[in-house]
Amino acid sequence: MIERFADDDTIVAIATPPGEGGIGIVRLSGQKALRIAEGMFSAKNRVRLSRAKTHTVHYGVIAEKPERAAPAKVLDEVIVTVMRAPRTYTREDIVEINCHGGMIPLRKVVELACRCGARLAQPGEFTQRAFLNGRIDLVQAEAVLNVISAKTDAAFRPAMQQLRGTLSERINALREKLIGLIAPLEAGVDFPDDVADRRSKRNFTAALEAVQRGVQELIAGAEKGVILHNGIRVALVGAANVGKSSIMNALLEYERVIVTDISGTTRDVVEETLIMQGIPVRIADTAGIMESACVITKESIQRTFAFIEQADLVLFVVDASRKLGKTDREVAEKLRNKKVIVVINKTDLASKIDEKTLKDVVPGARWVRISALKKTNLSALEKQIGRMFFRGTLSAQDEVLVTGVRHKEALEQCLRNIQNAAGAAKNNGYDECLIFELRQALQSLGVITGETVREDILDAIFSRFCIGK
């Protein structure tokens, strides 16, 4: 667990990525942000930062002791933005110093700020303060990370929606409904057997079902959301020499891996990322399966089998110009519980493969016929991969709100509790059980927005951020 410092410290960090750029920004946040900045900054128009109005911009220099600075002590020529609490990212006073975008001026400015009383920020500490000060909830804090790290438009869109609070609104509406169900139960109103109460029981059941539907709708989009954000792992697997490495190169559109006509060319698993149908795909070339006494070949085949376990999807490659062999069957045997697309490669050559037998070997799998050499039908393969995950391509109207595994798990836990509660209500179980399950459901929703989340989970979330965010 990372050590967290006191919250009333004023923190400082470089907010822009490392490297050279037109400008680089040093950000200060905390009660003393203005005073610390004032101690380092000399404005051209002599304005004192501690008196500056909020959301104003000032030109000047950063120097060791600005009032008496000899020119040599000037660290950089800068633009300073003053933002006073509470209308800021962290809800604290913030000063942003736009420096020249090299690592030397930026570091020197940060060091000077530390000498003037600031402390270096921890990873994600600015965003964590925004969360702790109640400006954003946990969903939004995590969305900041997703917006920054989104690799595709499809991943960016739901992250932006989360940042704007759409998911939080949905979760909070469900929470309120649950509270509305729990409150009368806790007040001791139970279901005696007269007519009025039978009606109230019906209302209760209907309201609980509505919450259940709401949770289920969010879960339904979650699988897509997680894929959109994290991408999928695809493995090219098959007997030696069927053309796996050639397919890898064809998909990547450059000669990434070695291709020869010798069986056993590929030894290590080689992974690369590409975007297919708007999804980030990590595609892996693996060693071909073959009979061999060679220690190296045996080890590489071992690695292929181990890798299959981690893959979300296996492209089972077979050679159209050969009869289906023992090795092909052996590979198919290992793919029993996996999502599989059969890729019939080398269709530019005369066909010898018995497709009927192939169907028996991998029952129910989808097929694509391609030629890696002639680069034919690769787009059909890409489409098939997309379809495999989204049953049709993902459209802009599709509502994907949940993109995190953490959120998905909490929703699933919430659903289980609601189902238990529904069961208890139906069987006229004790109200204590009902209340317990509903409270648990409420808590699971709170875990998502950060209302009831444990501190170690918070630490884990914010430590994924970079310093300066």
Q: Give the footprint of Mg ion on this chain (CB under 5 A).
A: 244-245, 265-266
Which of 287, 237, 283 has its CA nearest to residue 258?
287
446 binds, among Mg ion, ligand GTP, none (CB under 5 to 8 A by kind): none
263 touches ligand GTP (CB under 6 A): yes
Q: How many residues bind ligand GTP (CB under 6 A)?
A: 23
DSSP state for residue 379 in the 8-state scheme: H
Q: Say if CB 97 and CB 78 are below 8 A apart.
A: yes
344 forms part of the interface with ligand GTP (CB under 6 A):
no
Establish if 348 lies at the interface with ligand GTP (CB under 6 A): yes
Distances in whole angstroms, Cα of residue 122 to Cα of each of 8, 80, 119, 401: 14, 22, 9, 29
**Cα–Cα–Cα angle for 50, 54, 57, nearest 5°?**
85
Residue 166 contact, options Mg ion, ligand GTP, none, Cβ 5-8 Å cut-off depending on partner type: none
Give CA–CA dist 235/248, Å, rounded. Answer: 10
Is 231 near ligand GTP (CB under 6 A)? no
Residue 342 in the binding site for ligand GTP (CB under 6 A): no
Smallest gap from residue 284 Cβ to Mg ion (A): 11
CB 319, min distance to ligand GTP, A: 8
Q: Kindly state the smallest distance separating residue 236's Cβ from Mg ion, in Å.
A: 8
Determine which residue in the list 216, 260, 357, 452 makes contact with ligand GTP, applying CB under 6 A. Answer: 260
Q: Which residue has the tokens 């051209």?
A: 44
**Binder among 42, 245, 304, 384 for ligand GTP (CB under 6 A):** 245
CA 83/CA 99 separation, integer angstroms: 17
Q: By Cβ distance, which residue is nearest to ligand GTP?
A: 288
Q: How far is the CB of 277 from Mg ion (least distance, A)?
A: 25
Shortest Å distance, C-beta 245 to Mg ion: 3
Q: Does 242 help bind ligand GTP (rule: CB under 6 A)?
A: yes
> DSSP secondary-structure letter at 66?
G
**Binding-site member from 90, 146, 168, 345 for ligand GTP (CB under 6 A):** 345
Nearest to 339 by CA among 410, 391, 279: 391
DSSP class of residue 51 equals G
- Only one residue has tokens 């991998």, namely 362
Q: Which of 268, 234, 451 is nearest to 338 (CA)?
A: 234
The CA-atom distances, in angstroms, between 352 and each of 184, 318, 348 are 72, 11, 12
Stretches 79-87, 126-134, 345-353, 407-415: which one binds ligand GTP (CB under 6 A)?
345-353
We find the least distance from the C-beta atom of residue 346 to ligand GTP, in angstroms, to be 4
Cβ(148)–Cβ(469) below 8 Å = yes
In the complex, minimum distance from the CB of residue 383 to ligand GTP, in angstroms, rounded to a whole number: 19
- With CB under 5 to 8 Å by kind, the binding choice for 438 among ligand GTP, Mg ion, none is none
Say if CB 457 and CB 113 are below 8 A apart. no
Please report, as ranges, the residues that interact with ligand GTP according to CB under 6 A: 240-246, 259-261, 263-266, 287-288, 345-346, 348-349, 371-373
